[in-house]
Chains A and B, each alone.
Chain A
Amino acid sequence: MNTYLSTVAPPTDDKRWKLVGATMRRNGYRRDGLIETLHTVQQSFGYLDERSLRYVASSLRVPLSQAFGVATFYHFFSLRPPGEHTCVVCMGTACYIKGAPQLLAEAETATGVKAGETTPDGKVSILTARCLGSCSLAPAVVFDGEVAGKVAPASMLAALQKWTQHDA
């Protein structure tokens, strides 16, 4: 576990790279800080693109293949930018038993995209989660980071409609 000093310059002068740099520094530029650093990238930029993976990999002296391997292995990391709004349908067991599949189907029909995709105009992403741990509120849906419990199809469609209409 040698500590290196990074000599790699960030890809742009975007201030968000400073946050990424701070995470790497906090972990002493050690290779085991890779996942922590990717978390910061995703938090700051919303997703991981090739440029950020190259930057992080070379800064931490990790082979690019390993950085890409980690980025694709973990479900939490996304290689595509998310939509302006995100609707995450929880597909944990409790939600599944209480009608999450129907909710997801309704969301897919309403937006015309499948789970994991974003509408062509970049407005709405429909996503699924393994389990939010909000099982007592099943079925749960996260609208733009806010958990809603005991969601009925009608209230979900209303929320989706608000996003698409509001900006139209």
Chain B
Amino acid sequence: MTLEELRQIASKEKESRQQFSHCLNVCMAAGCLSAHSDAVKESLVEEIATVGLRGSCKVQSVGCMGLCSAGPLVSVEPTGTLYQGVGPDDATDIIRGLSEEEPVSRLECSRQVPFFERQVAIVLENSGRIDPERAEDYIAAGGYEALIKTVTEMRPNEVIEQVSKSGLRGRGGAGYPTGLKWGTVAKAQGSPKYVICNADEGDPGAFMDRSVLESDPQRVIEGMTIAAYAVGASQGYIYVRAEYPLAVKRLQTAIRQARHLELLGREICDTEFSFDVDLRLGAGAFVCGEETALIASIEGKRGTPSPRPPYPAQSGLWGQPTLINNVETYANVPPIIRNGGEWYASRGTGKSKGTKVFALTGRIAHTGLIEVPMGMTLREIIFDVGGGIPEGRKFKAVQTGGPSGGCIPEPLLDMPVDYDSLAQAGSIMGSGGMIVMDETSCMVDVAKFFMEFCMSESCGKCIPCRAGTAQMYDLLAKITDGSATHDDLKMLEELCDLVKFTSLCGLGQTAPNPVISTLRYFRDEYLAHIEEKRCPAGVCKCAELSVAD
């Protein structure tokens, strides 16, 4: 494959699209699919055939358009009209609207709202616009140009230099500088080297990676291949959750197509560089998001972590130098190579560059997937982009970072969202889950929920995590049922410290975070449970007792 051949594919694809005066994009990502967007697509195709528009109107499956709560979503090109809550019965009206050039107002969803206007799409630039099951569509959108440029024009250290310049940091949560990591693996002695994509999105309440894989899988493969070229690897693995069957299917299709186009495999672009990717399915273990546990799982073993050092960069998969990055990190790579590191670094804040994809969920008007520049404040994300809290309720807290993160209260909402500010507030960026809670949520109960999660997901290898999380859970259960004393609270705080500083891996080290952050900002709720045997939010069982009294 040469650049000319690639551009030929792109122009052929564009030409074939120009035959059609209209293209209807139907979202076929998991969110809209569960609202039966497949039936919507079918009835649109039928209706087009019935009215005899088959030659001028095309229906295409695309990935996530972001506003999942309003699904199924259908967008019309070239007018850009967006329809929400579309049912199979709406097909007649939509198709009539096309020929009369008058959008169906009852289904129309305005794009002139903060939800769309405040977003900046880099990772999600193709999401909802291209058919995720067709490589040609990705190529027509500029896909694989970065890969060809990389292997034919750039030296590995130049690739790493651009990634370093971009300021990209690991999007899996910890925020380790990506360029630095690539440099370490590139310098490591040993062959073969491996590249792994961590798609084991275990945080409950997060679905960024799933959406990227379902909407634009080729981008992740391109990013991984560029990374492999930069570090000198010849084999890659994508470790993806078995709980995401659609993402698995689309990745399989994408890998097959990339191999067919000789963008994966031996001697890519007639150079000496060979690289192939295989899928490995996770099997439902949260700890496998930790890199050493993930490697153990790819080797077919129980996913238990190992002490670091040695880091995977030195000794990873089968003892070889291994690069591990998250889905979103790889998805950022092609545009960085295409436009240069400085272009990417022009967005974001001092130490957190570029954009971040968040999954907005919980008690918020617009649940869905968003991509915003780093440094936007939480208030802007929740109240402007997210549309605020529905049903006239009051905002209480936003949880970021999943079971490893914390709850951030109202007074801190004007904080810019970047790695360092979130850490200062006692939470973490995490992979991008953002769960909004209103006054109907009890913060002690939320802390208990996360502790139950960590307790049952603890792999059992080290004692502080295995026994500590169970003890902390018991104490939290005591508080929520109204039988705890001040001594229990003191013990809980001591355990937070102990588990945090003595656990082996990230799971245990961060497991106390939800407790620590809720104790820091919502201590009065803990005290109400202990002193007054009362749950201020009316969630916990002790509340029922006090009503009976």
Q: Taking beta carbons and an 8 Å cutoff, which residues of A are in contact with B?
A: 1, 30-36, 38-39, 62, 66, 69-70, 73-77, 91-94, 96-98, 129-138, 140, 146-149
A31-B299, A75-B284 given; 5 more Cβ-contact pairs under 8 Å: A1-B318, A35-B283, A74-B282, A74-B303, A97-B446
Q: Does B242 contact A (CB under 8 A)?
A: yes
Q: Are A32's CB and B201's CB within 8 A?
A: no
Q: Are A148's CB and B34's CB within 8 A?
A: yes
A87–B241 alpha-carbon span in the complex (Å)? 20
Q: Are A91's CB and B204's CB within 8 A?
A: yes
In the complex with contacts A39-B283, A133-B244, A138-B367 CB distance below 8 A: yes
Please report which residues of chain B, range 453-487, place their CB below 8 angstroms from some CB of chain A when the two chains form the complex.
453, 457, 459
A-B contact pairs, 11 of them (CB 8 A): A33-B300, A35-B283, A36-B281, A70-B302, A73-B302, A93-B402, A98-B363, A130-B286, A134-B30, A134-B207, A136-B31
Q: Does B68 contact A (CB under 8 A)?
A: yes
Contact residues in A for B450 (Cβ distance below 8 Å)? 93
Q: Does B406 contact A (CB under 8 A)?
A: no
Contact residues in B for A130 (Cβ distance below 8 Å)? 202, 204, 243, 284, 286, 453, 457
Q: Does B433 contact A (CB under 8 A)?
A: yes
Contact residues in A for B106 (Cβ distance below 8 Å)? none
In the complex with contacts A35-B281, A93-B402, A137-B34 CB distance below 8 A: yes
A33–B367 alpha-carbon span in the complex (Å)? 38
Partner of B243, one of A62, A97, A132, A137: A132
Q: Are A93's CB and B302's CB within 8 A?
A: no
A32–B194 alpha-carbon span in the complex (Å)? 15
In the complex with contacts A131-B206, A133-B30, A135-B361, A93-B449 CB distance below 8 A: yes
Q: Which residue of B lies closest to A69 (CB)?
A: B302
Q: Does B139 contact A (CB under 8 A)?
A: no
Contact residues in A for B381 (Cβ distance below 8 Å)? none
Q: Are B361's CB and A94's CB within 8 A?
A: yes
Q: Taking beta carbons and an 8 Å cutoff, which residues of B are in contact with A?
A: 30-31, 33-35, 68-69, 71, 201-207, 210, 242-244, 280-286, 297-303, 318, 359-363, 367-369, 399, 402, 433, 435, 437, 441, 446, 449-450, 453, 457, 459
Partner of B435, one of A1, A31, A94, A140: A94
Contact residues in B for A137 (Cβ distance below 8 Å)? 31, 34-35, 68-69
Contact residues in B for A34 (Cβ distance below 8 Å)? 300-301
Contact residues in A for B201 (Cβ distance below 8 Å)? 133
Most chain A CB within a 10 A radius of its CB, from B206, B280, B301: B301
Q: Are B69's CB and A136's CB within 8 A?
A: yes
In the complex with contacts A31-B300, A75-B284, A131-B204 CB distance below 8 A: yes
A33–B300 alpha-carbon span in the complex (Å)? 6
Contact residues in A for B399 (Cβ distance below 8 Å)? 93
Most chain B CB within a 10 A radius of its CB, from A129, A131, A147: A131
A130–B453 alpha-carbon span in the complex (Å)? 8
Contact residues in B for A131 (Cβ distance below 8 Å)? 202-207, 243
A31–B296 alpha-carbon span in the complex (Å)? 12
A77–B302 alpha-carbon span in the complex (Å)? 12
A109–B455 alpha-carbon span in the complex (Å)? 26
Contact residues in B for A66 (Cβ distance below 8 Å)? 301
Q: Are B205's CB and A74's CB within 8 A?
A: no
Q: Which residue of A lies closest to B302 (CB)?
A: A73
A133–B303 alpha-carbon span in the complex (Å)? 21
Contact residues in B for A38 (Cβ distance below 8 Å)? 283
Contact residues in B for A96 (Cβ distance below 8 Å)? 204, 449
Q: Which residue of A lies closest to B279 (CB)?
A: A36
Q: Are A76's CB and B204's CB within 8 A?
A: no
In the complex with contacts A32-B300, A97-B363, A133-B34 CB distance below 8 A: no
Partner of A92, one of B205, B318, B437, B457: B205
A149–B71 alpha-carbon span in the complex (Å)? 11
Contact residues in A for B34 (Cβ distance below 8 Å)? 134, 137, 140, 146-149
Q: Which residue of B lies closest to A66 (CB)?
A: B301
Contact residues in A for B363 (Cβ distance below 8 Å)? 97-98
Q: Are B284's CB and A76's CB within 8 A?
A: yes
Q: Are A133's CB and B202's CB within 8 A?
A: no
Q: Are B285's CB and A74's CB within 8 A?
A: yes
Q: Are B298's CB and A94's CB within 8 A?
A: no
Contact residues in A for B359 (Cβ distance below 8 Å)? 135-136
A121–B459 alpha-carbon span in the complex (Å)? 34
Contact residues in B for A76 (Cβ distance below 8 Å)? 242-243, 282-284
A91 CB to nearest chain B CB (Å): 7
Contact residues in B for A33 (Cβ distance below 8 Å)? 300
Contact residues in B for A1 (Cβ distance below 8 Å)? 318
Q: Which residue of B lies closest to A32 (CB)?
A: B300
A33–B33 alpha-carbon span in the complex (Å)? 32
A38–B299 alpha-carbon span in the complex (Å)? 14
A94–B441 alpha-carbon span in the complex (Å)? 11
Q: Which residue of B lies closest to A138 (CB)?
A: B361
A155 CB to nearest chain B CB (Å): 14
Q: Are A149's CB and B35's CB within 8 A?
A: yes
B359 CB to nearest chain A CB (Å): 6
Q: Are A92's CB and B204's CB within 8 A?
A: yes
Q: Are B205's CB and A35's CB within 8 A?
A: no
Contact residues in A for B69 (Cβ distance below 8 Å)? 136-137
